[in-house]
Structure 1
């Protein structure tokens, strides 16, 4: 069968608006996907639905179609997007209305069944992560556009691939190859030089969006349209493969892909071949993401300038102690951005950040808006804040629960209104960690130099609920031989002291010359809770790369 060219035009709700049009006009495509959903997005859409029951989908997608629906139809490109969010049926209706208004004869289908909110009282949104076979059913029956709710990000690729190549649910190696391709594409320009440790090696001012040339055996080539910005190489693909993953087994509802079997090969300029991927049956349960309101949050940052920074911070804390006594959660962070004998006031200043949380909005409003501002003329010399605190804003809490495959009514709603039930996985295997594989021989001892880790390795980090992962990879066999032995869990904790009291698990992926560290609980109750100043751990990997340790001179 012919190669299937699948592109991506969105990595999140709010991504580059023109990307849909750019991908349709930039080169050949068979399918164009858009990933609009994240854990935080589901909370945002849940709050939208509270205000208007007919809402709950990514409105940006509709606005993009106003400019591009006719173009997609003219070029025969099928569109597959999870922009349906909490209301895929509603979005499908809006797309039909738009097509009718412009006189464009497209067939619109949608996938539903993921919404389990009614089964989880107290949740704002509870949605199971569905696989790709609902999408495949819609496409096999002639849909031009498929919108879904909460499917796995990779399902946007596995669904079209299964439909095009005729894959059955048990063809695990093929499905796993498509999952890996889908995982590379799902975050858009992160595969083409965006957010990349070695970004200076190419022009990433406006990276092009990625696409995959998929083959019937599940292998793929990751590339981008000719003439677009950014670059695609083994490093950019490795970085994205490690993003928001755990161990060697990357589980999904259709298949568990073995990341320790992935082979990456440079296949020419801006082309990386991905093959060798082995797949296994999926685990027995589907992941369900639960979003609920956790209470109210407020914050203020006090600016401490010049001398006696620690004493000034202690004074503020003491002055506010009584006012904060009844607030359920209080967190202080002193950020030492100051330096001695600074030549600007800003670089002479540190920030004392106070964050409060409580179920009662009035409590967090009173605690800061009143007590903190009353100190304006009665505290440390030079008293001022970055911005006055407000009344307090609601924050969300995310958690995972799991349900059997058969407990979720996965349904493809076709363009003609027919409803096709998608069978749950018939064969499942309990997920187990893969034992650490054999590591390369360590480098022979030799002279070392104290230097930043990032001179020899790249990193990418991200969030999964309250956990974070930090993927670290070497660019040469010699650097991998050193990294595999030098960066133990204990050394990782030394370099990132914020992880010292938390469970940390290391996973080795020799085929990618990579180590992946999972840090449990560092993000509290998830991104919407804003537990730390980098609530999605996006820069955790870059912090690690900036830390100094003794590195063999031959690698430098």
Structure 2
């Protein structure tokens, strides 16, 4: 029997109406919602500092006020990680809501991820749990399951394990569900959202995805009829590569082998996933640590017309002199040449000079820094103005991950009546090792004529963040294009095309089944997204920058 699992949220702040859309748009057995990201945990940690009863995604509670009755009426069970730092608090709020609405809804939650007490100095320290706590809650009759920090894919593996009776050693089945869960977790990114070839369909309002999961772990990714966007091998490939690394995709329940994934178009807006193999999970669980790193401030100077570089040099020297007595710990300048010669508008005649400062002391990047910038208003380069005056300085966060044994967490399913059921940690484990490089296809003949053109004319890409690292997944659609890409886009070539990566460690992972290369760029995001280390702090557009770069491409592929 097929289990239909839909997703209605890819992050805290996603489309509010998606819960109702998914519940009314077609048949579902389970509706999931993913609200957590590395940055979200920091935001919730700061919420909890102000209010110890906070720490969960408040929008989910408002969504339940509108749709809990609808889910109950349609027999759809709800599984969400919206509990964040306070899953018991959110579960209790939903119980009270169900009571007010007169709904006989059983609400359970999962505990054990919170390790903050063991990591002093951090706002939040949470282990990534697997899906068997969710499965226990569902098997014991829960209609709604609230979790804290579980892996995103656990929102799918838990319901699948409960429905089909999978055990901890059903690695291939679990791995199939992990892959399906990874495709669903970012919502509309699987249905044409943020997609390199977005012009191939109507993505003005893409629908949210669902997976039809079978007992053997195979799945079909699709969406409700009549919703926007589209589902094809490309959209699923893009999401499979998102925020991953090598062929082994580790998790607390299973390590999924991404190099075994098979994708087949199974009809309009239907992609079949099969062939996925799984291995025992690694011996440790990932723990995400979020702490305040200090304070930051920024100002963007607008430089218009002639002598852009001289104007930039003047204001840089003036700010350096003004900050000499209380120089911030980190000072970063970026000159963005958005100007063009003989421009028809003032905006297109202007360049942007961005100054970012960081320091443990708020005063240093606050009033002292802001005053120095503002005081230049009538005493600097001609045409002086800024995009916005600098403020008082805001706190920024730092993310890092550490690893602990499975036995270090007390994974517990807490049922609607308060009964607590411990979840047994994985017994069989397998130390992660790099998969040997797979054989590559024969390269195209060197005699083929080429033309200088953007990589994006033949390849798609998607990029994202994992702590301070970024990944760039690049894929092509034909075997001939794969023969070219596999031998052309080496680490050295990537570093040439993206000079920001040249001094960093870059690792290439070929995935021939997907006709894809996945690059991991270490350290490009500094101390993580909350530190806002670079212009694109989550590396969301790194892949699109790569696609815009020119290289010699065989004319036959163009």
Q: TM-score, normalised by structure 1?
A: 0.99
Structure 1 counterpart of 2:33: 34
Structure 1 counterpart of 2:514: 512
CA contact (8 A) 1:244 1:463 kept: yes
CA contact (8 A) 1:341 1:348 kept: yes
What's the CA shift for 1:368? Answer: 2.5
SS in structure 2 at match of 1:399: strand
What's the CA shift for 1:533? Answer: 1.3
CA distance in 2, matches of 1:527, 1:40: 7
SS in structure 2 at match of 1:436: coil
Q: Deviations over 1:85-141 (max 9, x none)?
A: 000000000000000000011000000110000000000000000000000000000
CA distance in 1, matches of 2:497, 2:25: 44
What's the CA shift for 1:323? Answer: 2.8
SS in structure 2 at match of 1:232: coil
Q: Deviations over 1:506-549 (max 9, x none)?
A: 00000000000000000000000000111000000000000000
Structure 1 counterpart of 2:455: 453
CA contact (8 A) 1:10 1:35 kept: yes
Q: Deviations over 1:358-396 (max 9, x none)?
A: 000000013431111111111111100000000000000
Query: Matches of residues 387-406 of structure 1 in structure 2 within 5 Å?
Result: 387-406=388-407
Query: Matches of residues 334-483 of structure 1 in structure 2 within 5 Å?
Result: 334-445=335-446, 446-483=448-485
Q: Which 10-residue stretch deviates more, 492-501 or 428-437? A: 428-437
CA distance in 2, matches of 1:329, 1:215: 53
CA contact (8 A) 1:284 1:404 kept: yes
CA distance in 1, matches of 2:322, 2:557: 55
CA contact (8 A) 1:300 1:368 kept: no
Structure 2 counterpart of 1:182: 181
Q: TM-score, normalised by structure 2?
A: 0.99
2:282 matches 1:283: yes
SS in structure 2 at match of 1:17: coil
CA distance in 2, matches of 1:323, 1:538: 35
CA distance in 2, matches of 1:547, 1:340: 23
CA distance in 1, matches of 2:437, 2:199: 33
CA contact (8 A) 1:192 1:207 kept: yes
What's the CA shift for 1:341? Answer: 1.1
Q: Which 10-residue stretch deviates more, 537-546 or 441-450? A: 441-450
Structure 1 counterpart of 2:86: 87
SS in structure 2 at match of 1:68: helix
Structure 2 counterpart of 1:497: 499
What's the CA shift for 1:433? Answer: 1.1
Q: Deviations over 1:210-256 (max 9, x none)?
A: 00000000000000000000000000000000000000000000000
Structure 2 counterpart of 1:308: 307
What's the CA shift for 1:435? Answer: 1.8
Structure 2 counterpart of 1:224: 223
2:548 matches 1:535: no
CA distance in 2, matches of 1:502, 1:369: 33
CA contact (8 A) 1:327 1:367 kept: no
CA contact (8 A) 1:285 1:405 kept: yes
Query: Matches of residues 196-275 of structure 1 in structure 2 within 5 Å?
Result: 196-275=195-274
SS in structure 1 at match of 2:322: coil
CA contact (8 A) 1:466 1:523 kept: yes
Query: Matches of residues 287-302 of structure 1 in structure 2 within 5 Å?
Result: 287-302=286-301
CA distance in 1, matches of 2:514, 2:31: 28
In structure 2, stretches of 5+ residues that fail to align are none
SS in structure 2 at match of 1:551: strand
Structure 1 counterpart of 2:526: 524
Query: Matches of residues 27-66 of structure 1 in structure 2 within 5 Å?
Result: 27-66=26-65
What's the CA shift for 1:159? Answer: 0.1
CA distance in 2, matches of 1:340, 1:483: 37
CA distance in 2, matches of 1:106, 1:133: 21
CA distance in 2, matches of 1:341, 1:273: 54
The equivalent position to 1:485 in structure 2, one of 487, 504, 511, is 487
Count of paired positions: 555
SS in structure 2 at match of 1:435: coil
What's the CA shift for 1:322? Answer: 2.4
CA distance in 1, matches of 2:369, 2:464: 31
CA distance in 1, matches of 2:323, 2:152: 42
CA distance in 1, matches of 2:102, 2:38: 36
